[in-house]
Amino acid sequence: MPEFTEREKEVLVEFLEEAIANLREEIAASDKEEYRVMLKERKETLKSVLAKLG
């Protein structure tokens, strides 16, 4: 696994948190179940990456 500087980690965490928040909004606004399921899976993947950085 690559080693990140503290600043790189901070930027990645901020980016991931923003992306997760955006996915929450997109999931709530989605009418199609299949699309919503894909977005939820993506959100969980991003949360997993975020946990590994923290």
Question: Is residue 13's pLDDT more than 80?
Answer: yes
Residue with tokens 């965490």: 13
Distance CA 12, CA 10 (A): 5
- Distance in angstroms (rounded) separating the CA atoms of residues 40 and 21: 12
Would you say residue 1 lies in a domain? Answer: no
Residue 21 located in a structural domain: yes
Average pLDDT of the residues of the chain: 95
Is 13 among the domain residues? yes
Residue 33, domain extent: 6-53
- Whether 32 is in a domain gets the answer yes
Q: Could you tell me the two tokens for 8?
A: 């790189």
Q: How far apart are CA 53 and CA 33, in angstroms?
A: 30
Tally of domains within the chain: 1
Query: Does any domain span residue 23?
Result: yes
In this predicted structure, the answer to whether residue 2 has a pLDDT above a threshold of 90 is no
Which pLDDT tens digit goes with each residue over 21-37? 999 999 999 999 999 99
Q: Is pLDDT above 90 for 44?
A: yes
pLDDT at 40: 97
Instruction: Supply 26's token pair.
Output: 């997109």
0.75 exceeded by pTM: yes
